[in-house]
Amino acid sequence: MSLTPPSFDQAEYTQVPPPLSPQPLEPADGSAFAKAIVFGLVGVVAGALIYAAFILITHIQIGYLAIGVAYLVARAMMVGSGNRGGRNYQIAAIVLTLVSVALGNAFMILWSAHSDQGASLSLGNLMVALPYGFEEPFLEFKDNAFGGAIGIFILYIGLRAAWRMTSGLPGASQHPFRR
């Protein structure tokens, strides 16, 4: 009995894959997107406060907090939109997550200035510290290049989760890392 080698010249499907539906750039209902942004902003503030409070209380700055912040922001947006998603939701989730992490870093900077030099805890001073909050993940490279790279990579994982959660795909908001 002779076995013939398999032929890889032509692929044959056992089942035809379902067509991919394009994700709309704009939602059918603009109020759903506006409500998602409002809920996302609440997630930004809550995430920033949790981020800063954890680091200030424990004195442990761990990048995994960015994943939690991303989850909180994206989940708030999905609740606000009634689980609608799409490209504009994804872009907004990325921006809001970055703002939340930067705001958390700015809270820490302002708290340190308050503790060390008696700077007032005001909204104006928080806005002055905000640009430094955006820089902080990159400043980690100065002290520890490996730790800085790990922190940026974990921030990327969080942003990827926020992107996935706000895609509008069924189940993506419950399992942001599952394909």
**What pLDDT, on the 0 to 100 scale, is given for residue 45?**
94
Angle at 162 between CA 161 and CA 164, to 5 degrees: 65
Instruction: Answer yes or no: is pLDDT of 24 > 70.
Output: no
The reply to whether 99 falls in a domain is yes
Give the Cα-Cα-Cα angle 52, 77, 91 (nearest 5 degrees). Answer: 90
3-state secondary structure (DSSP) of residue 41? helix
| Structural domain includes residue 91 | yes
Residue 111 resides in a domain: yes
Distance CA 86, CA 84 (A): 7
Residue 147 is assigned to a structural domain of this protein: yes
Residues of the chain above pLDDT 90, percent: 33
Domain that holds residue 147: 30-165
Q: What 3-state class would DSSP assign to 30?
A: helix
108-118 pLDDT, tens per residue? 888 888 878 87
In a domain, 175, yes or no: no
Output the CA torsion 84→41→45→107 (10° steps): 130
Q: How confident is the model at residue 27 (pLDDT cuts 50, 70, 90)?
A: very low
Compute the average pLDDT of residues 43-64.
86
Statement: residue 29 has pLDDT above 60: yes
Mean of pLDDT values over 47-72: 86
- In this prediction, residues 67-90 reach a mean pLDDT of 92
Give the separation between CA 65 and CA 58, rounded to whole angstroms: 13
As a whole number, mean pLDDT of residues 126-142 equals 84
Q: What sign results for the dihedral spanned by CA atoms 116, 52, 97, 124?
A: negative
Question: What is the torsion angle, in degrees rounded to the nearest 10, for the CA atoms of residue 38, residue 39, residue 43 and residue 49?
Answer: 60
Kindly state whether residue 35 falls inside one of the protein's structural domains.
yes
Q: Residue 133 — pLDDT band, cuts 50, 70, 90? A: confident
Total domains in the fold of the chain? 1
Q: What is the mean pLDDT of residues 25-52?
A: 85
